[in-house]
Amino acid sequence: MSITSALEGAGPGMLLATIAGLLALSTLAAVAPRSRANPAGFSLALSALACVGVFMLGVGVLASGTPVVASAGDVLGFALIDVRYDTLAALFLVALGVAGAASSVFGIGYQGHGTTGIDRTTAAYPVFLASLALVFGADDAFAFLFA
């Protein structure tokens, strides 16, 4: 994965990797059986942290005015996924961060009243958040269709 930006250091790259990792862990935690190590709201807490990261990425791009460009994957010398978060995409990232964090925090309390079994529909929520973030920054048609 290559990330270029005029923002300071490896900040945007680490933030994008952290967001992706938190959403992946959130999806895995959603399909794992409930236990003391994996309580009912753990998956949504990870999603809330990822949304805070999305918010911080959006604010960072808005504050600097410099786009964050990233690409992942490589097939025959071509990147599979290209994303570019400019100021317009940053506005949507800020909105996604606020709405996603609020929804995740609400869901933590809501999920505490549910059943103790595995709720496979909960795994769709972090995938939905990731796809929205990818749609906002899709730099080519394949990334948009993948999202």
- Determine how β-strand 81-85 pairs with β-strand 2-4: unpaired
Share above pLDDT 70 across residues of the chain, in percent, rounded to a whole number: 80
pLDDT at 6 over 90: no
Top pLDDT among 118 and 75 is at: 75
Q: How confident is the model at residue 79 (pLDDT cuts 50, 70, 90)?
A: low
Encoded tokens for 87: 């100021």
Query: For the segment 15-70, what is each residue's pLDDT rounded down to a tens digit?
Result: 888 888 888 888 888 777 777 666 778 888 888 999 999 999 999 999 998 898 88
| Interacting residues of 88 by C-beta distance below 8 A, sequence separation 6+ | none
What string of H, E and C letters represents the secondary structure of the chain? CEEECCCCCCHHHHHHHHHHHHHHHHHHHHHCCCCCCCCCCHHHHHHHHHHHHHHHHHHHHHHHCCCEEEEECCECCECCEEEEECHHHHHHHHHHHHHHHHHHHHHHHHHCCCCCCCCHHHHHHHHHHHHHHHHHHECCHHHHHHC
Encoded tokens for 27: 């999806």
Q: How confident is the model at residue 112 (pLDDT cuts 50, 70, 90)?
A: low
